[in-house]
Chain A
């Protein structure tokens, strides 16, 4: 992979990154509730195209709780016409935004002046046809729907169905099904809240619809399990169709076993045959036809296993890393610390660690693979585990749906990299 472009800088912490279905547009959400859109000016260069404030901080007066404006997830809708639509969500509310371009404006109204003031009817002596004249490109984002008041707990996922009519939203304990046109009603399809909250043992951490089967979705839990549900089976999908779970290795048991087994992200492959899960230390690929264990497991940063105490104290152990597939499902990618991100080539069982940093981001510079020294004598160009900067973390990554272009979000910066063959 080589770096192609200068960084795009953000003033706030990036909280989500998503390519649209064609890869033409890249949306990022941040902690300040803003959504940025970046289209390429030419191949492989993305610049900020438009920014709009998606969510504002709110206050729940009944519970005396502040609702953060941070964007948790963005999901693009498939394009139907000239306008683009995306869903963005914070902890409580999902919004549907229409993003449209305007590069022409009408001129020559009969009843209005150019500045918008109405003309005196008595001064109108002739009739003219307004014409459209070019103007500077203007990108407009307008909220089309607001889906609110359906989640008691914090929303962690949204996923658009392949039917292009419905989508799901998941919080810690429930999953709701919405119709894109209806905002005052949603259907609860999963509810794992126990009757007695003292018996709570797990929460929902991520959910996604199958890319082709509109009746199928999966959700992951904090216990490291993934449940697949079929909406044809019953209205309430509390009973799963399949349960994907790998038995815990007893030799790895520690104080933090429950934390590191919690799944932070789940993603179907584009072909719909596999799904990928990310827990704290590893990425696992599951065949949808085999529930007993994953077909592939990749260790992202196993050297952190001996550092779990420190990572627990500084809260890094609670970081939720995302993962993504490339366009043909042959490579998976996920982030790590020290602004490292990892790619695993499935077929050839190869992996590489790369770094997203300003020093490595000169245009057309080939990224140098990095290596972490887990123990023993450190070789040249290796970095020791104790030297890793745990404040520099890559939680969000995205891969262009067709090309080998990736977007990697560090805390405040968005890096775009592309493969040199393009």
Chain B
């Protein structure tokens, strides 16, 4: 992406996904708000108001993407559960199917047997061709309900995916444990930002009410890192 000649030292992967960009912007925005407390001349109301808008926009995108990711994981989990149940019902056919699947793995990634339960047609999304501009990334995240991701269809791929999924779930869980007492729905953290410079976060607060209706606690718990940054004030 040609709009990032900067060095993001806390990122170890290219910023090519909307939620990564939004997380970066959240961090940068919070740092700006923090630094404004000590700058000469006092807190600049105008600048901090604008930073709060970026913070709000990034947060909206981040939460939406997180929710979408959790939703995809949950769907995948359900699908895998059904697949496993089906598999258990036909143990005698499993060996033959495994062999068949291994063959298919080499030649085709989509096993015929599991197609009906594992496959889910990826929804068309403009993010298929993610441009190199943050404007497009923003709009991508805004519009995509479930951005196209490569679906691993056969059982072999499913296993590796399951590992990745398990890892990410563990990460989410760890953060959840660390910050279980930090209920993200608690507005006190947001209010702390307000008290810093007396500015408004009405956009954040009202938006949060909307998002609470659609976001599971799991999605919100995944934002532990950001919550930690807020508490750092």
Contacts and interface: CB of A to CB of B under 8 A. Distances in A.
Interface stretch (A13-21, A225-233, A251-259): A251-259
Interface in A144-175: 153-154, 156, 172-173
Interface residues of B, number: 39
Do most interface residues of chain B lie in helix, strand or loop, or is the interface mixed?
Answer: helix
A252 B136 CA distance: 9
A345 B2 CA distance: 32
A238 interface: no
Interface string A178-216: 000000000000000010111111110100000000000
A308 B61 CA distance: 17
Contacts of A154: 41-42, 44-46
Interface stretch (B47-55, B64-72, B74-82, B214-222): B47-55
B189 to A, nearest CB: 14
B53 to A, nearest CB: 4
A313 B50 CA distance: 13
A63 B42 CA distance: 9
A11 B42 CA distance: 24
A316 to B, nearest CB: 12
B127 to A, nearest CB: 15
B138 interface: yes
A386 interface: yes
B202 A67 contact: no
Contact of A203 (B3, B6, B22, B49): B49
B123 interface: no
Contacts of B202: 198-201
Interface in A294-328: 305-310, 312-315, 318
Contact of B41 (A68, A194, A256): A68
Interface string A362-389: 0000000000000000000000001000
Interface stretch (B98-106, B110-118, B192-200): B192-200
Nearest to B199: A200
Given A63-B42, A200-B49, A201-B202, A259 B3 contact: no
Contacts of B150: none
B139 A253 contact: yes
B134 A254 contact: yes
Contacts of B135: 252-254, 305-306, 308
A172 B46 contact: yes
A156 B41 CA distance: 13
B40 interface: yes
B200 A91 contact: no
A313 B198 CA distance: 23
B5 interface: yes
A87 B57 CA distance: 40
Contacts of B157: none
A309 B53 contact: no
A65 interface: yes
Contacts of A70: 41
Nearest to A221: B46
A203 B139 contact: no
Contacts of A307: 3
A60 B143 CA distance: 48
A186 to B, nearest CB: 20
Contacts of B47: 318
A412 B50 CA distance: 27
Interface string B14-27: 00000001100100
B50 A255 contact: no
A309 B45 contact: no
A222 B47 CA distance: 10
Contacts of B58: 255
A172 B50 CA distance: 13
B53 A258 contact: yes
B116 to A, nearest CB: 39
A194 B202 CA distance: 12
Contacts of B46: 154, 156, 172, 203, 205, 222, 262
A136 interface: no
A259 B46 CA distance: 10
A306 B44 CA distance: 26
B4 interface: yes
B162 interface: no
Given A258-B54, A310-B3, A66 B139 contact: no
A309 B6 CA distance: 9
B73 interface: no
Contacts of A198: 194, 200-202, 205
Interface string B170-199: 000000000000000000000000100011
Contacts of A205: 46
A259 B203 CA distance: 15
Most chain B Cβ neighbours within 10 Å, of A201, A262, A309, A318: A309
B159 interface: no
20 contacts: A65-B41, A65-B42, A66-B40, A154-B44, A154-B46, A198-B200, A200-B49, A200-B202, A201-B49, A201-B200, A201-B203, A205-B46, A222-B46, A255-B22, A255-B25, A258-B54, A262-B50, A305-B135, A310-B4, A315-B32
Which 7 A-B residue pairs are closest in the complex by CB-CB distance?
A200-B200, A258-B53, A254-B135, A65-B42, A68-B41, A172-B45, A198-B200
Interface of B: 2-6, 21-22, 25, 28, 32, 40-42, 44-47, 49-50, 53-54, 57-58, 61, 132-135, 138-139, 142, 194, 198-203, 205
Given A68-B40, A91-B42, A198-B194, 9 more contacts: A70-B41, A197-B200, A200-B200, A255-B61, A258-B50, A258-B53, A306-B133, A308-B134, A309-B21
